[in-house]
Structure formats: C-alpha cells, structure tokens
Chain A
Amino acid sequence: MPNEKTVAVIGAGAAGLMACGTLAQRGFNVKLFDKNNMPGRKLRITGKGRCNITNIADIDEFINNIPENARFLYSAFSAFDNTDIINLLNKEGLETKIERGGRVFPKSDNAKDVVDALFKFAMRGNVKFITHAVKEIVAQDGCVKGIKLSGGTFVPADAVIVATGGVSYPLTGSDGDGYKFAKKLGHTITDLTPGLVPLTVEQDWVSSLMGLSLKNIAITLFDQSGKKVYNDFGEMMFAHFGLTGPVILSASMHIKSPANGYFICVDLKPALTQQKLEKRLQRDFEENINKKVANALDGLLPKKLIPVILKLWGTDENKPVHQITKSERAKLVTLLKNIRFDIKDFRPIEEAIITRGGINTKEINPSTMESKLVKGLYFAGEVLNVSAYTGGYNLQIAFSTGHLAGMSVKEGED
C-alpha cells in the first residue's frame, strides 16, 4: 500500500540498500543518497572482490563472533537473519554457495553481482537513487525534518536512516560523515579504533619476509601483563611493516588501544608436539648430517624464513649439521613453536576492514533502530558501535539492522 511519507536513506551500502528496499516494499517514497555515483562501492571490494555475504552459523555462533554489543543485535537478527538475506538474494536472481567455515559467497565469486541484486531489490518501488552527498540532518524540537545536501539544498523527509558506514577504507565513500551528523544531533560517539587491522611490530626483520604467507600456523596473543587473550589457527602473512592475514586480523579485535605492549607468539608447527618436532628435527639432521644446517631445514620451513630462523636461533648458517648439539636442537624446537612478535601499533584506521566504536548503542532503541534522542532518526550498519570478526558477520549486521530500521519507520502519525 502506497503511503505519503518520504524517507531519506543516507548511504547506498549494505545497510542502506537493505533499508531502502524494505521501505519501498512498505510503500514509502524513498530517497536514497550516496556521495558516489554508484551503489555499494565498499561492497564491491569485500571478501577480496568475492563478497562473503553472511555465515550459515546459528544465532549463538553469531553472538560469539560479535565481540562488541552483540546483545543489542538480538532483535535485528530475529527480524531478519542469514537465511532471510540468502533467500532475498536468491529471489533477486543471485545464486549463492557455502564455503569452509560456513561462509556464504555468490556462486559467481563476483561481489558486483551481490551489489546488483541488492540494488535491484532496493529500487523496486517508489525509490529515487540520488548521487549527492548529504551534509547535515535537520531536526526541530526533537523530530527529524529532513536533510541538507552538500551545497545546502534542503530536502524534507518524515524519517531519516543513517547508513553511512564507518571510517575505514575512506576512498569507498565511507568516511565518517554519519558520526558528525549524529553528534550534531546530540548523540555520543564511542572511541573509533581500527578493527580487523594489520599490526606493526618491533621486530624490523619482518620486512625481509614481506609477502611470505604461512599456512596452518597457530598464534597466541598476550596482553601487556603477559596474560593470554586469544589464540587462533590458520594463515598469516608478513608485510613490510609487520603482520597481516586472517589470524592476525582476528587477533587485532582482541587488542585494546593502545596496542603497544601486546605480543604474539607464533607456533610454526602446531600439529607437532614438542617431542614430535624434536624427533622430526633429529631425523632431518641425521639425513643431512654432512650438510650445512641452513640446507637441512629446507624440508621443514619455507626457504625465505630460514635465514631469519637461523639468526633468531643464533646459529651460523654455514655450521655443519653434525656440529649441532642436543641443547642447540632443543632451543630450535622451542623457537619454531614460539616466535615472538612485539606489537607496536595497529595500522591506520584507513587500512582496517572495519571501524570499532560508533554511535553509542545505549542511545538507540534495539527493537527499532530509532534514536532515543530524535524522533524519526534511525541508524543501521557499521555506523553503530557494533563490530564482528571476519566470516560474513559484519555484512549480516548491516543487512539485519538495515532491514529492522526499514521495518520500523512509522506509516502514520503516532
């Protein structure tokens, strides 16, 4: 049923497109604003261009994967969950598939197809996609009145949904305007820090390993007091500044700012116990008894890593294997299972996958996404103070909160 009300949705990302389509289905006039001349600029680069849409995990698993403010999201998830977004996209003609760890991707492995399907959904109805940047939200006596475009043109609206995303990867258009709008209207913004972000380390020799990727390693993260705070198993990579890759990004979510003083121990051989690794080394050494030690490690370690290991071990690369003592060998075993990296800092927030912190969720009604301070003002997506690990959880948060905001805008007077 059409109705007379106009809703302005700011941001044509995951949350904004979802809110827009939901409102259009309910018969609203919708004006969807984005500063880019195309929708879903960030969505297009998600999942390395493949877009990890969501995860098939159940609700408990979802909550476990959301370290910040998971409880705030219960209503949003129960209104619209992972099966709902999969069904919606399927209905719009996008085929999906499930990969390792329950991650859902488009069958085409192309994030653009996800944007196209979402945009199709969003534009079905009385919707105008307007490629102007929004400068300000206008409210009067605690009620939303509309928005101002950059340049100052006033656009009246009965409700406004802020879906402007975070501040990470600002070239995508998500550069933190939503926080400014909200702050001006009296909302508080919790500290914005980088999440799922690479880490810089004190050990400057990492730069010699740039580009090297280590699969099937285990990491343990310790805080300043030496307390274990996180462990993970999987893949990491070296960069000129330090460490990156899936397990490092996940670990970064467990580091409170400032990151300095945290350290990570990498176990290069998590499948082998100390004794088994000792045995394996003994065997490798016996087989290569007359070789230089550097050459005897070939089978166990990537070539690029060997010079670094020798240095940390304190052994000359030209030393013949038969001169290695038992205690030297034991020291190597300990090293291979415990390479220490001292964290210097997060990489800048611009390089983070997500922004931690955002609009204080205490000021938002979790069952409607409406502001408790300004009537007719709604928030959805990463602009909120919620954040999750990798695995499709962040996009699901955007879809669920976008849907709930779109469902909650009132049709008539209240």
Chain B
Amino acid sequence: MAVRAIRGAISVESNTKEKIFEATNELLAEMVKRNDINREDMIAMFFTMTKDLNAYYPAAAAREIGYTDVPLVCYAELEIENSLRMCLRIMIQVNTEKTNAQIKHVYLKDAKVLRKDLAD
C-alpha cells in the first residue's frame, strides 16, 4: 500500500451555490468511479477555486454529498495571468495498491485544457 494522490478539475458554469455544488458532485463522482476508491482508503481532500468563484465552499458540497468523515480543506487558487477562469480543482489522497501510472486523473468540461495530455 502506498499513499497516492488523484487530481481532478472542472469548470463551473456560474458563481452560484447550485453550480458549485453540481460541479463538485460531478467531479468527485467521476474521480471516485474511475479510480474505484473506497472510503476507508481516503486520507484527505483538497479543493481550490479561482478567485471568481466564492458563492460556496466546495468542501461543504462534498460534506452534503456524504463525505463527512474525510478531512476536507479549501484554498484559493493562484491568480496567474491568462489562466483558466471559473475553475474548481480537487486533489484526493488515498491509500492504494495502484502505481502512479494506474491512477486516473479527471479533467472535465473546460478544465480539459489544463491537461491536454490526458484527454480521453
């Protein structure tokens, strides 16, 4: 067993509580599904959002979905010139038998541009 991290990102349609919930839900669901993560193997989740998103905590959305017993924390994303706007990023740390190469990172909607090398 090793500690590994799974990355994901998604664009958010608008800066509202509903849309931030929907984006968090969609991205988390895909990350968990594609990597077949068990709750018991989750260590922590980190969230960042770009400055233009401030209507809701993505960690609160994750708690509403049911991730109440995983440590969750949110940070502000760096403000880099010409970077993707309206973007939610997640990192989940897990204990896993998988190798780094077997981990599936998930980039959805407009956030696909962040990792063109991973596009499916």
Contact = CB atoms under 8 A, between A and B. Distances in A.
Nearest to A128: B64
Given A149-B66, A153-B66, A154-B66, A131 B39 contact: no
A153 B29 contact: no
B32 interface: yes
Contacts, number: 49
Interface in A117-139: 128-133
B interface bracket (residues with beta carbon within 8 Å of A): 20 to 34
Interface string B49-84: 000000000000000111111100000000000000
A133 B33 CA distance: 9
A155 interface: yes
A128 B29 CA distance: 14
B25 A151 contact: no
Nearest to B62: A153
A292 to B, nearest CB: 60
B97 to A, nearest CB: 15
Interface residues of A, number: 15
Interface string B1-41: 00000000000000000000110011011101100111110
Interface in A132-161: 132-133, 149-155
Contacts of B70: 153
B29 A132 contact: yes
A132 B32 contact: yes
Nearest to B37: A151
Centre residue among B30, B33, B36 by max chain A CB count within 10 A? B33
Nearest to A147: B66
A37 interface: yes
A411 B67 CA distance: 25
A393 B70 CA distance: 45
Contacts of B40: 152
A157 to B, nearest CB: 10
A131 B29 contact: yes
B70 to A, nearest CB: 8
Given A128-B64, A130-B65, A151 B26 contact: no
B36 to A, nearest CB: 8
Given A132-B65, A155-B65, 6 more contacts: A128-B21, A130-B29, A132-B29, A149-B65, A150-B33, A153-B65
Interface of B: 21-22, 25-26, 28-30, 32-33, 36-40, 64-70
Interface of A: 31, 37, 128-133, 149-155
7 contacts: A37-B29, A128-B65, A129-B25, A130-B66, A153-B67, A153-B70, A154-B39
